[in-house]
Structure 1
Amino acid sequence: MPNANIYFQQREPSPLRQLWLHVNSNPFAVAAFYILAIALLVMLFSPWLTPYSPDAQFADAILQPPSWDDAGEIRYLFGTDDLGRDILSRIIAGSVYSLGYPLIAVLVAAVIGISIGAWAGMSRGVQSSTLNHLLDVILSIPSLLLALVIIAMLGPSLVNVMFAITLVLIPQFIHVVHNAIYDERYKEYVTASRLNGVTRWYMLTRVIFPNITSVLVMQTSFALSTAILDIAALGFLGLGVQAPAPEWGTMLARSLDQVYVSPWMMVLPGLALFLTILSINVLGDSIRAAIAERVRNS
Structure 2
Amino acid sequence: MSDAFLKADVRPNADSKQSNVQHGPWRDAARSFAKNKTALVGLCLVIFFVLLALVAPLIAPFDYKAQVLSDRLKPPSGEHWFGTDDLGRDIFSRVIYGARISLWVGLLSVVGSIVIGTLLGIIAGFYGKWVDMLISRVFDILLAFPGILLAIAIVAILGPSLQNALYAIAIVNVPTYGRLVRSRVLSLRQEEFITAARALGANDGRILFKHILPNSLTPIIVQGTLGVATAIIEAAGLGFLGLGAQPPDPEWGKMLSDSRQFIQTAPWTVIFPGLCILLTSLGFNLMGDGLRDTFDPKMKGR
1:64 paired to 2:83: no
Q: Distance in 1 between matches of 2:67 and 2:299?
A: 55
Name the residue aligned to 1:70.
none
In the TM superposition, what is the alpha-carbon distance from 1:186 to its structure 2 partner?
2.2
Counting matched residue pairs gives 289
Q: Conserved in 2, the CA contact under 8 Å of 1:211 and 1:295?
A: no
Taking the TM superposition and a 5 Å limit, the aligned residue runs for 1:88-237 are 88-195=92-199, 197-237=201-241
Cα RMSD between the aligned structures? 2.5
Name the residue aligned to 2:248.
244
In the TM superposition, what is the alpha-carbon distance from 1:240 to its structure 2 partner?
1.5
1:85 paired to 2:89: yes
Name the residue aligned to 2:46.
36
In the TM superposition, what is the alpha-carbon distance from 1:203 to its structure 2 partner?
3.0
Query: 3-state DSSP class of the match of 1:212?
Result: helix
Match of 2:266 among 245, 262, 266: 262
Q: Distance in 2 between matches of 1:125 and 1:117?
A: 13
Query: 3-state DSSP class of the match of 1:6?
Result: helix
Query: 3-state DSSP class of the match of 2:88?
Result: coil
Give CA deviations for 1:238-268 in whole Å, capped at 9, x if unaligned. Answer: 1211122110000111111110111111111
Q: Distance in 1 between matches of 2:287 and 2:208?
A: 27
Match of 1:53 among 63, 71, 88: 63
In the TM superposition, what is the alpha-carbon distance from 1:296 to its structure 2 partner?
8.4
Structure 1 pair 215–6 and aligned structure 2 pair: CA distance change class (3 A): closer
Aligned-pair identity (%): 35
Q: Distance in 2 between matches of 1:77 and 1:295?
A: 43
Q: Which amino acid in the other structure matches residue 18 of structure 1?
A: D
Tell me which protein shows more helix as a share of its residues. 2
Structure 1 pair 75–233 and aligned structure 2 pair: CA distance change class (3 A): same
Structure 1 pair 79–295 and aligned structure 2 pair: CA distance change class (3 A): closer
In the TM superposition, what is the alpha-carbon distance from 1:197 to its structure 2 partner?
4.7
Q: Distance in 2 between matches of 1:225 and 1:198?
A: 39
In the TM superposition, what is the alpha-carbon distance from 1:237 to its structure 2 partner?
0.9
Q: Distance in 2 between matches of 1:144 and 1:167?
A: 11
Q: Which runs of 5+ in 1 are unaligned?
A: 67-72
1:289 paired to 2:293: yes
Query: 3-state DSSP class of the match of 2:13?
Result: coil
Q: TM-score, normalised on structure 2? A: 0.87
Q: Distance in 1 between matches of 2:182 and 2:124?
A: 6
Structure 1 pair 6–151 and aligned structure 2 pair: CA distance change class (3 A): closer
In the TM superposition, what is the alpha-carbon distance from 1:65 to its structure 2 partner?
1.6
Give CA deviations for 1:210-262 in whole Å, capped at 9, x if unaligned. Answer: 43222102321233222211111011011211122110000111111110111
Q: Distance in 1 between matches of 2:269 and 2:71?
A: 14
Q: Conserved in 2, the CA contact under 8 Å of 1:213 and 1:291?
A: no
Name the residue aligned to 1:20.
30
Match of 2:15 among 8, 11, 32: 8
Structure 1 pair 294–13 and aligned structure 2 pair: CA distance change class (3 A): farther
Query: 3-state DSSP class of the match of 2:213?
Result: helix
Q: Distance in 1 between matches of 2:181 and 2:298?
A: 20
Q: Conserved in 2, the CA contact under 8 Å of 1:121 and 1:179?
A: yes
Taking the TM superposition and a 5 Å limit, the aligned residue runs for 1:272-287 are 272-287=276-291
User: Based on CA coordinates, which of the two structures has the bigger radius of gyration?
Assistant: 2
Structure 1 pair 296–115 and aligned structure 2 pair: CA distance change class (3 A): farther
In the TM superposition, what is the alpha-carbon distance from 1:294 to its structure 2 partner?
10
Give CA deviations for 1:151-202 in whole Å, capped at 9, x if unaligned. Answer: 1222211222122222222233222211221132224554454455544334
Q: Distance in 2 between matches of 1:257 and 1:295?
A: 46
Q: Which amino acid in the other structure matches residue 12 of structure 1?
A: Q
Give CA deviations for 1:90-128 in whole Å, capped at 9, x if unaligned. Answer: 000111221112212221222222122212221121111
Structure 1 pair 163–6 and aligned structure 2 pair: CA distance change class (3 A): closer
Query: 3-state DSSP class of the match of 1:186?
Result: coil
Structure 1 pair 149–20 and aligned structure 2 pair: CA distance change class (3 A): same
Q: Conserved in 1, the CA contact under 8 Å of 2:41 and 2:286?
A: no
